[in-house]
Structure 1
Amino acid sequence: MTHTAADIPGDGAPRDGAGGGGPAGSGRPLAEEYDTALLDLDGVVYAGPHAVEHAVESLEAARRAGMRLAYVTNNASRPPQAVADHLTELGVPAEASDVITSAQAAARLVAGKVPAGSAVLLVGGRGLEEALEERGLRPVRSLDDGPAAVVQGYDPSVGWQQLAEASYAVARGLPWVASNTDLTIPTARGTAPGNGTLVAAVRTATGVEPEVAGKPLPPMHQETVIRTRAKRPLVVGDRLDTDIEGAFNGGVDSLLVLTGVTTAAQLLAAPPHQRPTYVAADLRALLVAQPDVTAAGGAYRCGGWTASVGDGGQLRLDGAGSGGDPYDALRALCAAAWTAADGGAGVPDARKVLAELGL
């Protein structure tokens, strides 16, 4: 079946609050407001081999409330079953059908460019190989095998020989699809080169740009919605430039949790296309209503906190003191900072107020 833009939920910009300036509120728990959570994995559900704090019990409670859980990753190296097995070991029961990868989105893109059953030059690992086979395509490893296209995804096994084969094929004019272009990946030992770094090698050798499938671009969002049949999805992530921007590009609402790479300072400085609908500490946010941010006289209030921008361009925070929820303060600060930036005043200085909040 061919899916068009009309088939994909989310045909406009995500909601926001505070008169258009900051995070939105929700009178009901998010697990009741949305039918499906499209969850990023690393930094949201797990951090390497361990579950993120509060993730396991929060996801189980959201499932009991009727929310479908789907796991969406830009990592093309592992097949969905391997990801599902890892989640299950952590205490988050999952089936392969609950996992959507950039490899699957890339394979769908390739299948739309070549005849059925075509050979495709594979630069990547088993996850991408399985995704091509699912679409009826034949993965090969050499230009001598007559491929009709090139598809590239991250895998630790990728080395010079595979990059060279891809370069030869791309230079001859074969269509080139990359699963994603994330420059780095987190590992147990630190930050390592990601698929974007490997893609850059082929780009440098050929002068050609690939078509990219993964977050934040629309093919990944479309693949996810097609596979989950979500009617009212909520993207949940920890990265502004992939998860939240991807939700914006898909026209659906998003929840940013601060359990991964994004800092409070980065959130306050986010451009419009990387601003989440909701902001929270962790996945417990799925189980509760979200507070409103209200605007009055150039200031923004959430919970007991009121945020504004002073004459010197510094963010100011008044109200709840040490007894209030610091994430209510952060929501109010987002409204003040984003409104100031959109009005041409630039990003306000948030260092002092964030230090006082411990964020």
Structure 2
Amino acid sequence: MTEVAGDRLVDGYTLVVFDLDGVIYLIDRPIPGAVEAVGRLHAAGRAVAYATNNASRRSSEVADLLTGMGVPAEPQEVLTSAAAAAELLRDRFPAGAPVLVVGAEALRAEIRAAGLTPVARADESPVAVVQGYGPQVCWADLAEASVAIRAGATWVATNTDRTLPSGRGPLPGNGSLVAALRHALDREPDVVVGKPEAALFATAARRAGAGRTLVVGDRLDTDIEGARRAGLDSLLVLTGVSDVPELLAAPESRRPTYVAMNLAGLFDPAAVARVPGEPDTGGWSAARVDGGLELRGAGRPLDALVALCAAAWSAPVDAADIRPATPEAQRALAALGLSA
């Protein structure tokens, strides 16, 4: 059995930084077990922070949302890409400078709180365009941003998440809206603030001072890559966007330190595994046969995943080409969402 050295994963870290959507809650409902997990951390006096690319809520609103779910949270524990973008613009431009905001009211409020002036039209001569997710963003907003950027405004994106989680599955995120402008302008944003850039995680770790930091996320392309860029350990939980096929295909820059089905992995050594392990792990073996991967053995599905990661990361393989050699392997693949 592949277990984390020591007793519990969480005992090796001073600070645990959580992503929110897909880890703590899905839209506005807590993910099963999340409230209890954070409660255990608080009860043990463990430092906790929340880093989110969601720019549609202010830090205080996120803290209120968490508290309403049963997770006591203070605004200073919440790091949003909206607040980080506003701070960046505050440091670059004089007080009162006009900034064209494409996004939710929360992003406008952060710009205002930073001492800048949020505007909605390019003819108001904005010095910058800040673009974040907002459910009401429309073509007219993108058109104003396009005109302003072509006129020389600095283009800041709060994040470039392609999708965001929902109860109906992944939906277009801010990255999809950024892509529309990128295509129209034939250029990249001047600055991307949120994950996978390291700023949010680095800020959280700096606030915690001495000690090790663990980042917990559900997305390889933001949470895990951002943690790696910040030089921090990470735990991928399979409760949100990234699934097992994506994990098996992950490039080195997006590979987590640990993987668990959910937040129980923080406390239960049997519910978490370090990756990559060995192709022969915990009673499982994964070997290349006829151009694909063959899994055989018995044991925890999580250990089977460790073996599959080791084999797939040494030489890429399509998840569709992973085959069970035994009934136990077939059940493990089904548990991992890899059954045909």
The answer to whether the aligner puts 1:287 opposite 2:267 as a matched pair is yes
Shift, 1:188, TM fit: 4.0
Q: In the alignment, is residue 308 of structure 1 matched against residue 293 of structure 2?
A: no
Partner Cα distance (1:24, 1:306) in 2:
14
Return the alpha-carbon distance in structure 1 between the equivalents of residues 302 and 156 of structure 2.
40
Answer yes or no: is 1:85 the counterpart of 2:85.
no
1:352 maps to which residue?
324
What's 1:260 paired with? 240
Taking the TM superposition and a 5 Å limit, the aligned residue runs for 1:84-163 are: 84-163=63-142
1:325 aligns with 2:320: no
- CA shift for structure 1 position 226: 4.5
Number of the residue aligned with 2:32: 53
Amino acid at match of 2:287: V
- d(CA) in 1 for partners of 2:3, 2:146: 46
Q: Verify the 8 A CA contact 2:23 2:237 in the aligned structure 1.
A: yes
Task: Tell me by how many angstroms 1:355 deviates.
Answer: 4.2
Evaluate the alpha carbon distance shift between residue 190 and residue 266 of structure 1 in structure 2; reply closer, same or farther with a 3 A threshold.
closer
Amino acid at match of 2:304: A
Task: Give the 3 Å change call, closer, same or farther, for CA 315–141 of structure 1 in structure 2.
Answer: same
Measured at CA, do residues 30 and 127 of structure 1 come closer, stay the same or move farther in structure 2, by a change above 3 Å?
farther
* CA distance in structure 2 between the aligned counterparts of 1:230 and 1:182, rounded to whole angstroms: 31
**Aligned pair in 2 of structure 1 residues 139, 259: CA closer, same or farther (>3 Å)?**
same
* 2:146 maps to 1:167: yes
Amino acid aligned to 1:284: A
Contact residue 99 and residue 130 of structure 2 kept, 8 A: yes
Identify which of structures 1 and 2 has the higher relative contact order when contacts are C-alpha pairs closer than 8 Å and 6+ apart: 1
Alignment TM-score, normalising by the size of structure 1: 0.81
Deviates more, 1:285-294 or 1:125-134: 285-294
Measured after TM superposition, the shift of residue 217 of structure 1 is: 1.6
| 2:173 corresponds to 1:182 | no
User: Which residue does the alignment assign to 1:339?
Assistant: 314
Structure 1 residue matching 2:214: 3-state secondary structure: strand
Taking a change above 3 Å as real, the CA distance of residues 337 and 78 of structure 1, as seen in their structure-2 partners, is same
Letter matched to residue 335 of structure 1: A
Which residue in the other structure is 1:208 paired with?
Answer: 187
User: Partners of 1:222 and 1:285 in 2: how far apart?
Assistant: 23
- SS at the partner of 2:92? coil
Instruction: Give the AA of the match of 1:333.
Output: L
Which residue number in structure 2 is paired with residue 217 of structure 1?
197
2:84 maps to a residue whose letter is A
Length, aligned pairs only: 326
Amino acid at match of 1:315: L
Which shifted more, 349-358 or 180-189?
A: 349-358
| SS of residue paired to 2:324 | helix
**Distance in 2 between residues matched to 1:252 and 1:72, nearest whole Å:** 14
Which structure 2 residue ranges, 5 or more long, are not aligned?
Answer: none
Question: 1:43 aligned to 2:22?
Answer: yes
The answer (yes or no) to whether the contact 1:255–1:276 under 8 Å persists in 2 is yes
Q: How far apart, CA to CA, are the structure 2 residues paired with 1:274 and 1:226?
A: 22
1:178-207 deviation per Cα after TM superposition (whole angstroms, max 9, x unaligned): 001222223344443221222233223333
SS in structure 2 of the partner of residue 139 of structure 1:
strand
Aligned equivalent of 1:14: none
Moved more, 49-58 or 188-197: 188-197
Relative to structure 1, the CA distance from residue 47 to residue 351 in structure 2 (aligned partners, 3 Å threshold; closer, same or farther) is farther
Please give the alpha-carbon distance, in whole angstroms, between the structure 1 residues aligned to 2:211 and 2:113. 25
Secondary structure, in 3 states, of the residue corresponding to 1:187?
A: coil
Letter in 1 for 2:196: P
- Residue 171 of structure 1, CA deviation: 0.3
CA contact (8 A) 1:309 1:340 kept: no
- 1:3: which partner in 2? none
**Does structure 2 retain, via aligned residues, the 8 Å contact 1:293–1:331?**
yes
* Counterpart contact for 1:300–1:333, Cα < 8 Å: no
- Contact map agreement 2:37 2:264 (CA 8 A) in 1: yes
* TM-score, normalisation: structure 2: 0.86
Identity of aligned residues (%): 48
Q: Is the contact between residue 239 and residue 262 of structure 1 (CA under 8 Å) also seen in structure 2?
A: yes
Contact 2:294 2:323 in 1 (8 A): no
RMSD of aligned alpha carbons: 2.6
Distance in 2 of aligned mates of 1:105 and 1:95 = 17
* Secondary structure in structure 1 of the residue aligned to 2:241: coil
Q: By how many angstroms is 1:158 displaced?
A: 1.8
Given the alignment of the two structures, is residue 241 of structure 1 paired with residue 225 of structure 2, yes or no?
A: no
**C-alpha distance in 1, partners of 2:255/2:137?**
34
Give 3-state SS (helix, strand or coil) of 1:310's partner: strand
Using the alignment, how far apart are the partners of 1:126 and 1:176 within structure 2? 18
Amino acid at match of 1:350: I
Query: Does structure 1 conserve the Cα–Cα contact (< 8 Å) formed by 2:295 and 2:324?
Result: no
